[in-house]
């Protein structure tokens, strides 16, 4: 297929319309709506474009991605969620936390009503900016919430950011409010509201080695009123971890200060930002450490609580009342909890009669912590001296936070009951101390995550298989078929294996009349290699799986190819001594019978990992990474014939430079193989290199082919042959903020046709782990995984078609931020889709939705926007609020002279 666009377009307009048709004013380009059909017509207003023929088009834009599996099963969000904070609006709570469900740490939240119902089951992405965000705190102003956090989006130093969230859960400041940023770090903010403005305090390193306490007021509009900050505590000691409460006239800010030991100090600040206690209030100065202060107000006095190490052999919870003049009423502190264990991280709230103090109780160092609490009255009397067991499951519960609602408290904490990562759980506690939700309420939910897709083609349709976590704590193997037009034939996925424990790392190929999917399987005592056949209609033929190799040590990372008669499965085998491994293989016939039940030893030096395999017409070529004594990881390969005979002894040295070469992928191009890999010969960054190997096992490019040597890291390559050239794809970090998918063609002579690479996929979240295969008519399907926003808010597997053979070059330099419209997520969608875009400077933004005839359907934005990233949502409705039918729609962004359009598919 040539790289030439051959289109004959006839323009047919009604009388008088030709002069009125402005091609530049169309909501999308002709190329946006041309389908691969001949002939076809496209109506745009009174104009009709007749497409008579389309052979091949050069690439003019990034590829359009789509979600491979649209099912959603709510579960604990992937990876860790921690440091919860909570506020009450009068009708519901907003719980916020730090969240690792994407590659960076973000700020998420969820509303919870007074019955304990979670109103945002996949969470609200409050801040998903580049870099890490942590230590959130939240307050309510009567109309909106303000969430604040420390934020590392600008590089290595943290600043203080915030965002308002309305009562329906919409984030009003999608790019965040820069509350205070400087060359020095700021961290651990805390926020309260005084009836007019918010007050935010944080620890600040502008003074040098030790941190101070600074603050600022923020108007409900989000305006920062004290942009340079208010100095609360600037002693020669380290002042850390502020907490604050408002008494109706002034704030009390409390913190821990490290001199000889950690002690608790405080200062009052009025609503104009004046510090009333230039000499800090000594809240607690007893010997040994006092840390992690929290404060609440009861209408007469404040109550400050902290964890206290005066006992030396452990920590207890103490508190002290402080009146509005700043006088400490309990000089030695009130013993809230004194056991022989370790109590820490207290949080306190007031219900109108009593306080509830909650904390983390650890039964000895190294033992799991639980969540305990007690009521304390306004005189400082502890009403439950033995404590209230808030949550004492068999797993760890840590770092609680508490707020009072209209009738009950809501206590939230980090909870490790999933066994692998912490989630955010909660329970309601009545003013009498009754636990209303003894099993806890899971707050930090998301759609089930998916990872590590593999793809194969039968020459017509495609089959993508992946790791899927919809069952809960274990991974299963699911798949779906995709038609050449992009239709998802199995939108809820095909269950391939849900055996005991996890199944991971699938690899797929097509052979004979069926697909074979193989994977690593933990249903036994160790990881084994299993497989299953699927028919072209998507029927699972081996419901219990095929045991390709079981028993002994772990076998992992399988790869599979087909030789016209049998399948050949290779894997990383640890039967000798973990962690050392060799490469083994086994043939499987088309009936599912394993022909080599003990495996074929392809290598035997115990230093081989990450195999891949392709068939070259007479023999297989297996490639792997080899750990050399002096050269680090090298790339080696070996041929195996169709009878399972090893043809190259200890293997062929493909690349053995004194640097690491890893993660190989291999494809056959009709004459030679191309092996590609991650290569760090250029220094600390990794690049993509390759080498051709002929059918006799001779390496034709002994120095390697430099496929991509762009700035920063390129890794995880995958290669296919499209009938004319090899297409190599990889995940690429050249933009310096997240991973994108790039690609390049390599011809049969080893020439790289796109030396700067082509950016195939660029989304506001990273896209990683690409895999490619060639289907019918030299069409290529690219699959990969990455974070998907609403309605999933978790990692999902995606697909994108690459049909062009002409690729334009892109600069390898780090990109400056340009205006950009990203592909909507999900796509296709049912009831709501998220649209991300960015603009390099403040200005007018017009974001509109058109139908396929060019008719304006809805205006999503028509306003001035600040520079940065923004988010809009379309609910499949027109401007009158009426639902529109299924079909193809176009989202068009215009800002200044920039115009970009994305195709969206609505499926009712």
Q: Which helix (H) or strand (E) holds 170?
A: none
- Classify 760 as helix, strand or coil: strand
Residue 480's pLDDT band, with cuts at 50, 70 and 90, is very high
Residue 62's pLDDT band, with cuts at 50, 70 and 90, is confident
- Classify 32 as helix, strand or coil: helix
In this structure, what token pair is assigned to residue 775?
């289907």
**pTM, rounded to two decimals:** 0.78
Q: What's 411-476 look like in SS3? A: EEEEECCCCCCCEEEEEEECCCCCECCCCCEECCEEECCEEEEEEEECCCCEEEEEEECCCCCCCE
Q: Which helix (H) or strand (E) holds 33?
A: helix 30-33
In this structure, what token pair is assigned to residue 481?
């078929």
Residue 30 has pLDDT above 70, yes or no: no
DSSP 495-516: EEE--SS-EEEEEEEEETTEEE
Structural domains of the chain, count: 1
Let me know if residue 848 belongs to a domain: yes
- Min mean pLDDT across 214-218, 267-271, 700-704, 863-867 is at 863-867
Residue 38 has pLDDT above 50, yes or no: no
- Classify the C-alpha dihedral 130-133-138-141 as positive or negative: negative
Let me know if residue 291 belongs to a domain: no
Let me know if residue 824 belongs to a domain: yes
Q: What's 839-856 look like in SS3? A: ECCCEEEEEEEEECCCCE
pLDDT at 736: 82
Q: How far apart are CA 518 and CA 773, in angstroms?
A: 16
Q: Are strands 833-839 and 868-874 parallel, antiparallel or unpaired?
A: antiparallel
CB 330 within 8 A of CB 320: yes
Residues 6 or more apart whose CB falls under 8 angstroms from that of 114 comprise 91, 92, 405, 406, 407, 408, 428
Tell me the pLDDT tens digit for each residue of 809-849.
333 333 334 788 888 888 888 788 889 888 888 889 999 99
Let me know if residue 880 belongs to a domain: yes
Residue 34 has pLDDT above 60, yes or no: no
- Classify the C-alpha dihedral 791-795-797-800 as positive or negative: positive
- For residue 876, what is the domain's CATH number? 2.60.40.4070
Let me know if residue 273 belongs to a domain: no
Let me know if residue 126 belongs to a domain: no
| Domain that residue 867 falls in | 820-906
Q: How far is CA 214 from CA 63, 151, 156, 237, in A?
A: 47, 16, 20, 14
Helix, strand counts (H, E) of the chain: 1, 68
Q: How far apart are CA 397 and CA 415, in angstroms?
A: 5
How many C-beta atoms lie closer than 10 Å to residue 857's C-beta?
A: 19
Tally of residues, the chain: 908
Asked if residue 675 has a cis previous peptide bond (ω within 30° of 0), the answer is no
Let me know if residue 844 belongs to a domain: yes
Tell me the pLDDT tens digit for each residue of 267-319.
999 999 999 999 999 999 898 999 999 999 999 999 999 999 999 889 999 99
- Please name which of 680, 602, 667 lies closest in space to residue 634, comparing C-alpha atoms: 680
Tell me the pLDDT tens digit for each residue of 559-600.
999 999 999 999 999 987 767 899 999 999 999 999 999 999
Query: What is the DSSP-derived secondary structure letter of residue 607?
Result: B
* Angle at alpha carbon of residue 238, lines to 229 and 138, rounded to 5°: 50
In this structure, what token pair is assigned to residue 519?
């994977």
pLDDT at 503: 97
- Classify 89 as helix, strand or coil: coil
Q: How far is CA 572 from CA 282, 561, 588, 636, 786, in A?
A: 62, 16, 17, 14, 26
Q: Residue 583: how many CA atoms within 13 Å on its side-chain side?
A: 32
Average pLDDT, the chain: 88
Tell me the pLDDT tens digit for each residue of 92-133.
999 999 999 887 899 999 999 999 999 998 899 999 888 899
Which single residue is written with the structure tokens 């990372």? 557
Main-chain dihedrals φ then ψ at residue 111, nearest 5 degrees: -85, 145
Q: How far apart are CA 316 and CA 585, in angstroms?
A: 59
How many C-beta atoms lie closer than 10 Å to residue 245's C-beta?
A: 23
Q: Which residue did the predictor score with more confidence, 854 or 450?
A: 450
Tell me the pLDDT tens digit for each residue of 624-647.
999 987 668 999 999 999 999 999
pLDDT at 578: 63
Residue 364's pLDDT band, with cuts at 50, 70 and 90, is confident
Residue 61 has pLDDT above 60, yes or no: no
pLDDT at 283: 97
pLDDT at 56: 27
Residue 329 has pLDDT above 60, yes or no: yes
Let me know if residue 882 belongs to a domain: yes
């Amino acid at each position: 297929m040539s790289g030439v666009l051959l289109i004959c377009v006839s323009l047919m307009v009604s009388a008088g319309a030709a002069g009125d048709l402005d091609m530049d004013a169309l909501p999308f380009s002709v190329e946006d709506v041309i389908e691969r059909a001949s002939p076809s017509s496209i109506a745009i207003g009174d104009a009709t474009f007749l497409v008579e023929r389309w052979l091949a088009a050069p690439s003019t834009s990034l590829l359009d991605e789509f979600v491979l599996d649209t099912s959603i099963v709510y579960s604990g969000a992937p990876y860790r969620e921690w440091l919860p904070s909570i506020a009450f609006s009068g009708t519901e709570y907003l719980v916020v936390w730090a969240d690792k469900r994407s590659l960076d740490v973000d700020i998420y939240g969820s509303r919870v009503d007074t019955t304990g119902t979670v109103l945002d089951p996949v969470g609200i992405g409050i801040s998903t900016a580049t870099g890490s965000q942590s230590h959130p705190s939240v307050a309510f102003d009567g109309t909106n919430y303000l969430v604040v956090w420390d934020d590392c989006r600008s590089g290595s130093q943290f600043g203080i950011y915030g965002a308002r969230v309305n009562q329906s859960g919409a984030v009003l400041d999608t790019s965040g409010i820069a509350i205070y940023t400087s060359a020095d770090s700021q961290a651990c903010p805390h926020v309260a509201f005084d009836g007019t403005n918010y007050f935010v305090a944080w620890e600040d390193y502008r003074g040098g080695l030790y941190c101070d306490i600074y603050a600022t007021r923020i108007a409900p509009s989000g305006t920062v009123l004290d942009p340079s900050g208010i100095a609360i505590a600037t002693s020669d000691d380290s002042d850390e971890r502020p907490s604050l409460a408002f008494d109706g006239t002034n704030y009390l800010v409390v913190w821990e200060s490290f001199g000889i030991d950690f002690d608790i100090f405080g200062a009052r600040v009025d609503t104009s930002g004046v510090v009333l206690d230039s000499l800090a209030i000594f809240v607690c100065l007893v010997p040994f450490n006092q840390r992690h202060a929290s404060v609440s107000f009861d209408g007469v006095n404040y109550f400050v609580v902290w964890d206290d190490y005066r006992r030396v052999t452990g920590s207890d919870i103490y508190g002290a009342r402080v009146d509005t003049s700043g006088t400490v009423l309990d000089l030695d502190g009130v013993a809230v909890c004194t056991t022989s264990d370790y109590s820490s991280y207290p949080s306190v709230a007031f219900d109108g009669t009593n306080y509830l103090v909650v904390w983390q109780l650890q039964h000895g160092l190294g033992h799991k912590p639980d969540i305990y609490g007690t009521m304390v009255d306004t005189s400082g009397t502890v009403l439950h001296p033995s404590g209230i067991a808030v949550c004492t499951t068999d797993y760890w519960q840590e770092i609680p936070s508490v707020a009072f609602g209209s009738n009950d408290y809501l206590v939230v904490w980090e909870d490790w009951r999933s066994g692998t990562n912490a989630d955010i759980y909660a329970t309601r506690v009545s003013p009498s101390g009754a636990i209303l939700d003894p099993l806890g309420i899971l707050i930090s939910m998301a759609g089930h995550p998916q990872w590590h897709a593999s793809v194969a083609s039968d020459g017509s349709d495609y089959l993508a298989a992946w790791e899927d976590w919809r069952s809960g704590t274990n991974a299963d193997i699911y798949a779906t078929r995709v038609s050449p037009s992009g239709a998802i034939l199995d939108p809820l996925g095909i269950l391939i294996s849900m055996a005991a424990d996890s199944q991971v790392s699938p690899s797929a190929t097509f052979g004979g009349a069926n697909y074979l999917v193989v994977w690593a399987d933990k249903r036994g005592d160790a990881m084994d290699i299993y497989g299953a056949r699927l028919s072209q209609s998507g029927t699972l033929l081996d419901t219990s799986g095929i045991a390709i190799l079981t028993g002994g040590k772990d076998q992992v990372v399988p790869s599979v190819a087909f030789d016209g008669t049998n399948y050949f499965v290779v894997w990383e085998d640890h039967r000798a001594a973990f962690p050392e491994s060799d490469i083994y293989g086994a043939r499987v016939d088309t009936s599912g019978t394993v022909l080599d039940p003990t495996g074929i030893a392809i290598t035997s030096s115990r230093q081989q990992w990450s195999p891949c395999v392709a068939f070259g017409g007479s023999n297989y070529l297996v490639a792997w990474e080899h750990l050399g004594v002096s050269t680090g990881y090298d790339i080696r390969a070996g041929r195996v014939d169709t009878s399972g005979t090893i043809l190259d002894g200890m293997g062929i040295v493909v690349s053995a430079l004194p640097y690491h070469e890893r993660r190989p992928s291999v494809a056959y191009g009709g004459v030679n193989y191309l092996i590609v890999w991650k290569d760090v010969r250029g220094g600390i960054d990794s690049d993509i290199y390759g080498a051709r190997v002929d059918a006799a096992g001779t390496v034709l490019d002994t120095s390697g082919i430099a496929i991509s040597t762009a700035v920063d890291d390129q890794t995880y390559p995958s290669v296919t042959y499209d009938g004319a050239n090899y297409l190599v794809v990889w995940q690429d970090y050249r933009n310096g903020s997240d991973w994108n998918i790039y690609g390049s063609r390599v011809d049969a002579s080893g020439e790289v046709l796109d030396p700067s690479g082509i950016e195939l996929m660029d989304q506001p979240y990273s896209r990683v782990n690409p895999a490619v295969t060639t289907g019918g008519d030299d069409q290529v399907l690219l699959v990969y995984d990455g974070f998907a926003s609403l309605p999933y808010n978790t990692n999902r597997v995606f697909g994108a078609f690459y049909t062009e053979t002409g690729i334009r070059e892109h600069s390898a330099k780090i990109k400056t931020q340009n205006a950009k419209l990203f592909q909507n997520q999900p796509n296709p969608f049912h009831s709501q889709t998220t649209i991300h875009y960015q603009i390099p400077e403040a200005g007018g933004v017009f974001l509109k939705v058109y139908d396929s005839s060019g008719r304006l359907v809805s205006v999503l934005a028509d306003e001035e926007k600040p520079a940065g990233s923004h988010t809009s949502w379309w609910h499949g409705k027109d401007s009158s609020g009426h639902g529109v039918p299924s079909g193809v729609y176009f989202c068009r962004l215009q800002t200044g002279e920039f115009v970009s359009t994305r195709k969206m598919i609505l499926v009712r």
